[in-house]
Amino acid sequence: MTTPSLVAVLNGPNLNLLGERQPEVYGHETLDDLRDVCRRATDRAGLLLDFRQTNHEGGLVDAIHELRHTISGLVINAAAYTHTSVAIRDALAVVTAPTIEVHLSNVHRREPFRGHSYLSAVVDGVIVGCGTQGYELAIARIARLAARG
Ligand code: CA2
């Protein structure tokens, strides 16, 4: 029997506050709820989940380095670092597994600075404005791409 493939979901700064503030932007679900959403999605797809959140840029870079050889797919919401971080972009650029950038909110309907991502050019897909369902969609996409080999 083969071991199921691993999908990592990485969340950046302040996403630990989900559900506590700005529900009109980010919804009512908490980070634990988001983990459950991702767990159900990976279970459905027959994949294993590694779900993390950090408030630190280097923490995201370290996690990408640690995971890059063992994952079959990566979902990343780098939160505010999306709009600032060349370091996270450079780390993602060496990941060979399918990688999907996700944002809960529609970043293009918000302040202009949120419309630019340093990450989008080095990932395989981008999902914005679909709330926590965006993570489900990203995991389904990774399952499809991983099955193609
Ligand atoms: O829409 C997204 O998922 C974002 O990545 C969320 C980031 C924001 O900087 C990006 O532009 C778009 C912010 C995450 C902060 O989340 C909070 C949740 C509740 C209360 C306060 C912040």
**Is residue 40 a contact partner of residue 66, using CB atoms and an 8 Å limit?**
no
Q: What is the pLDDT of residues 61-116, one digit of tens each?
A: 999 999 999 999 999 999 999 999 999 999 999 999 999 999 999 999 999 999 99
- With a 6 Å cutoff on the Cβ, whether 128 touches ligand 1 is no
- With a 6 Å cutoff on the Cβ, whether 22 touches ligand 1 is yes
Q: What is the pTM of this model?
A: 0.97
Alpha-carbon span 120 to 116, nearest angstrom: 9
- With a 6 Å cutoff on the Cβ, whether 10 touches ligand 1 is no
Q: What is the pLDDT of residue 1?
A: 55
Lowest mean pLDDT among 22-31, 72-81, 114-123, 130-139: 22-31
Confidence tier at 4 by pLDDT (50, 70, 90): confident
* Per-residue pLDDT at 147 exceeds 90: no
Q: Which residue has a Cα nearest atom 18 of ligand 1?
A: 18
